[in-house]
Amino acid sequence: MVRRLARRKHIFALFSLLVLWFVLAAAIQAAPYVSYTYDFWGRTIPAPQAYLPERVVDGATLGIGSFSNPRDIKVANNLVFLADTDNNRIVVLDTLWNPVRIIDEFENQGEIDRLNSPFGLAVNSLGELYVADRNNSRVVVLTQQGEFLRTLEAPEPDADGIIPEGFRYRPRKVGVDRAGRVYVIAEDVYDGILEFDSDGTFRGFIGAPRVVLNIVQYAWRLLATQEQRARMQLFLPTEYSNLDVDQRGFIYTTVATGGARDEDAIRRLNPSGVDVLRRRGFHPPTGDYGAYLVDDQGELAFPRSTFVDIVQREYGTYSAFDRTRGRIFTYDSEGRLLYVFGGLGSQRGTFQTPASLAVLGDRVLALDSGRGEITIFEPTEYARSIHEAIASHYTGDYDRANELWVEILGMNSNFDLAYTGMGHAYLRMDEFWDAMVVFRAGQDRPGYSEAFGLHRRQQIIDNFPWLMYGLILISAVNVVNRRWQMTPRIGVWRRRQQQMAAQRTTLSLPNRLLLQFFNLMEQLSYAFYVIRHPFDGFWDLKHERRGSAAAACVWLFLVTLTYIIMRQYTGFIFNPRRLSDLNTVVEFSSIVLPFLLWSMVSWSLTTLMEGKGTFGDIFVTSAYALVPLVLINVPLTIASNFLTTPEGAFYFLGLTFSTIWAAGLLVTGTMVIHEYSMPKTLVTVGLTFVGIIVVLFIALLLWGVFGQVVNWVRDIYLEIVFRL
């Protein structure tokens, strides 16, 4: 009996393991990739799956022969068009994935004409099919049934040099707008996208990507002679990799990795070729960035995303296909990341060589040219809710949009865009305070600024009488104070200080401490004279001893406290720091250590340059020079909580003014205490900064050597321990 129970127990355990294995295998098969978004600080945040692979279609299963290096896919009029490039044909499928027809030849002026390496496809509003016939150097226009209409041949060379002699025309991608304008991306063309009229007349290039040189290349070009510049490598702009034209005539493009800036990986060109893409997300729409591209040591360890295709979707959203990792990134009309799915691999839902994207209803079609197959992705409830919320917002149903965003937060509490969506819904319903709360939760500073401005205006209107009563009361108190002299005057304290100083030898210990306190307060208050009369003030600090090291330490402490307060309590709009990572010791050291390093290096340098100031003089003078940082930055920190983004110019102007004022006092104090001329002072200050850099370099070098010594000692210790 016991053996039978034990046997049943083992069988049940084995059965449970098999069930668990099948469940895990099914989960992996359903989604063999991770889903994530990014937070405000560039960290990857796990997210629910937005799309799951529903089906994989290839030519063999359709009975039309395997696809060979297919390069483009388009959906129009309930038909799917596939450019089967190496088979030199266009495959037309219906939405149930049944072959409708194959276009590999057509009659052209009474003769049979054939496609040769069709790379790109486009379908206009009339249902006409445009084929970028690469190796035939043309764009062929056909009916959906495959009947020939016309061709767009290579543009002719012109006298202006726009098209040079010997121009080799190899179109790769094609797009067409509702007005009939045709846009072509050609191979090895760096001047932008070729634009043709509906009749095939070449109109010029639009949207040429900008050349961006790094600082080394730019400096080298400045220093090189004319002959060297002529021999230098030609810096070519980046060519486009794909395009898609929306219903309004805007051209969504992807730019291959090269001279373009990171934020130009995706562009939205108007008919004039001007980029009008909105980039209001935490980061421009460039695919993977931030924490995903660095290793544990903070070094760049992974290549950046390179988009091979883009497809425009409903309500301004768009999806882009990343060739580097096989992922599909979807953004809203503001350039904010919605979700990510897909990846490289051999499982269903992953790709070998990403090639093209298309949208069929709410499903996404992804073409893999390496394996020659189409993967159909079906949206999950998470993705459907996101798109429905965006649609509700655009159609003005803000209550429904708000409900949907709340549901999405139930699925993914880390989805910052849901908070942003709720905030915009609250704004449209004039619930400004609630909008501020959710905008802050979603780290949406532009939205928070708009909501705060409206809330502040509403509060001023509602409480205007009480504000006036408060101003009248303050004015009355000020008048009474002046009339009856209720506030003690400074002279009273100074007379008390003088009396105690005259009786210094007979004072008790508490009175002596009180006298020292009075002296310290006088030394601290002298800083207000120094910052207004720097030449006389710094002279008196040194020769009349109007200041002290104790007062300097107090001011230095107040400066460090000011910067800690700024990092912690600056208004949300102007404070991008992650407050949970604030370390008071690190913040304190980041002010005190550079200050001490400045004082030591300056003293060491000025002793060699006939400076007349001691280390104590430099320390006290430098501390007093930083007083404007306290007097200005603390009120600015308080005011930053009551300003909107457009008013932030005043905040940053105040910060700049306090920094310039403190720097000017530092230079003046150095000149006065060492009795230098202004040119010699500026040279001394510059050499001091150079000396600081040298000291830091030597310190880092010694730290590295110390670390190697420690590792050497540890290795010897471990070797001895193991041998014993």
Q: Where are the beta strands (DSSP E) in 95-192?
A: 99-103, 105-108, 111-114, 118-123, 129-133, 138-142, 148-153, 171-176, 182-186
As a whole number, mean pLDDT of residues 142-163 equals 81
As a whole number, mean pLDDT of residues 488-497 equals 54
Neighbours of 80 (CB within 10 A): 21
As a whole number, mean pLDDT of residues 548-561 equals 92
Structure tokens at 628: 């404007």
Query: Taking the domain 392-487, which CATH number applies?
Result: 1.25.40
Query: Taking the domain 36-379, which CATH number applies?
Result: 2.120.10.30
pLDDT of residue 515: 62
pLDDT tens readout for residues 201-224: 888 888 876 655 556 555 656 666
- Residue 52 CA to residue 384 CA, distance in Å, equals 12
In what order do the strands lie in the sheet containing 148-153? 118-123, 129-133, 138-142, 148-153
Contacts of 128 (CB under 8 A, 6+ apart): 141, 142, 143, 144, 149
- Residue 654 CA to residue 112 CA, distance in Å, equals 76
pLDDT tens readout for residues 656-686: 999 999 999 999 999 999 989 999 999 999 9
Q: Where are the domains of the chain?
A: 36-379, 392-487, 488-706
HEC per residue, 319-371: EEEECCCCEEEEECCCCCEEEEEECECCCCCCECCEEEEEEECCEEEEEECCC
pLDDT of residue 570: 93
pLDDT tens readout for residues 284-335: 999 888 766 765 555 556 778 889 999 999 999 999 999 988 999 999 999 9
- Residue 359 CA to residue 373 CA, distance in Å, equals 16
Average pLDDT, the chain: 84
The single-letter DSSP state of residue 264 is: G
- Residue 315 CA to residue 428 CA, distance in Å, equals 18
As a whole number, mean pLDDT of residues 628-639 equals 94
CB < 8 Å & 24+ apart, contacts of 7-11? none
Cα–Cα distances (Å) from 590 to 379, 662, 713, in that order, read 49, 17, 32
Structure tokens at 680: 């010699």
Q: Answer yes or no: are the C-beta atoms of 422 and 402 closer than 8 Å.
A: yes
Cα–Cα distances (Å) from 411 to 47, 65, 203, 414, 554, in that order, read 8, 43, 50, 9, 52
Assign 3-state DSSP to the chain and report helix, strand, coil percentages, each to 5.
50, 20, 30
pLDDT of residue 660: 95
CB < 8 Å & 24+ apart, contacts of 488-491? none
Count of residues in the chain: 724
pLDDT of residue 229: 56
pLDDT of residue 43: 86
Q: Answer yes or no: are the C-beta atoms of 376 and 365 closer than 8 Å.
A: yes
pLDDT tens readout for residues 13-48: 444 434 333 433 444 445 788 899 998 888 888 999
pLDDT of residue 311: 95
Tokens 């790709």, located at residue: 351
697: buried, middle or exposed (CB in 10 Å: 19+, 13-18, 0-12)? exposed
DSSP-based three-state secondary structure for 100: strand
pLDDT of residue 499: 57
Neighbours of 159 (CB within 10 A): 5
- Residue 389 CA to residue 314 CA, distance in Å, equals 12
Closest CA to 627 of 714, 497, 532, 550: 532
Q: What percent of the chain has pLDDT over 90?
A: 48
pLDDT tens readout for residues 346-401: 899 899 999 999 999 999 999 999 999 999 999 999 999 999 999 998 888 888 99
- Distance, C-alpha 478 to centroid of its chain: 50
pLDDT of residue 29: 47
Tokens 């056909």, located at residue: 142
pLDDT band at 129 (very low <50, low <70, confident <90, very high): very high
Structure tokens at 132: 């970028």
Q: What torsion, rounded to 10 degrees, do the Cα atoms 544, 545, 547, 548 define?
A: 170
Q: What is the identity of the amino acid at 679?
A: P
Q: Answer yes or no: are the C-beta atoms of 507 and 515 closer than 8 Å.
A: yes
Q: How many CA atoms does the CB half-sphere of 352 hold within 13 Å?
A: 11
Q: Answer yes or no: are the C-beta atoms of 341 and 377 closer than 8 Å.
A: yes
DSSP-based three-state secondary structure for 430: coil
- Residue 417 CA to residue 390 CA, distance in Å, equals 11
Q: Answer yes or no: are the C-beta atoms of 123 and 76 closer than 8 Å.
A: yes
- Residue 304 CA to residue 323 CA, distance in Å, equals 10
379: buried, middle or exposed (CB in 10 Å: 19+, 13-18, 0-12)? buried
pLDDT of residue 237: 60
**Residue 182 confidence (pLDDT) above 80:** yes
pLDDT tens readout for residues 503-520: 555 656 676 666 677 778
Closest CA to 206 of 214, 196, 195: 195
* 36-379 and 392-487, same CATH topology: no
- Residue 287 CA to residue 330 CA, distance in Å, equals 9
pLDDT of residue 17: 39
Phi-psi region of 723 (alpha: psi -120 to 50; beta: other; left: phi over 0): alpha
Tokens 């909107």, located at residue: 644
pLDDT band at 9 (very low <50, low <70, confident <90, very high): very low
**Residue 96 confidence (pLDDT) above 70:** yes
Contacts of 315 (CB under 8 A, 6+ apart): 332, 333, 387, 390, 391, 394
DSSP-based three-state secondary structure for 98: coil
pLDDT of residue 545: 81
Neighbours of 100 (CB within 10 A): 13
Question: Regarding predicted confidence, which is higher, 363 or 157?
Answer: 363
What does residue 489 show for φ and ψ, rounded to 5 degrees? -90, 155
- Distance, C-alpha 606 to centroid of its chain: 44
pTM (two decimals): 0.80
Q: What is the identity of the amino acid at 82?
A: L
pLDDT band at 102 (very low <50, low <70, confident <90, very high): very high
